[in-house]
Amino acid sequence: MDSRRRSILIAAPALALGLMASRNAAAQAKVTEADPTGKALGYKEDASKVDTAKFKQFVKGSTCANCNFYAAKGATEGTCAALGARLVVGKGWCSAWVKKA
């Protein structure tokens, strides 16, 4: 086996691990109200600030923390499956909200 091929075979697992780590880091990025996806879904970091005239489906008391797509990662934030498993604030809200079963 030539040295170039051996180098590739040795480096491939390390490269794969690096790519997986960067993917996980991107998935854990926090969604902001200015984020294109967050903006498209009307994401607000504070559900009390939702424009109820614009989002008529908003139900008083609905937050990310009581949404079916939310998985708590700490006391105040968690990941949202509807937003690509990215971090959101538990007291936030977006139009993808579905009551937790």
What pLDDT does residue 101 have?
87
What pLDDT does residue 18 have?
56
Q: What are phi and psi of 31, to 5 degrees?
A: -75, 135
Q: Is the dihedral of CA 68, 32, 76, 26 positive or negative?
A: positive
The one-digit pLDDT tens for each residue of the chain (101 residues) are 566 665 555 655 655 555 554 455 555 799 999 999 999 999 999 999 999 999 999 999 999 999 999 999 999 999 999 999 999 999 999 999 999 98
* Cα 85 from chain centre: 4
pTM: predicted TM-score of the whole model, two decimal places: 0.72
What pLDDT does residue 5 have?
60
The count of other CB atoms within 10 Å of the CB of residue 15 is 10
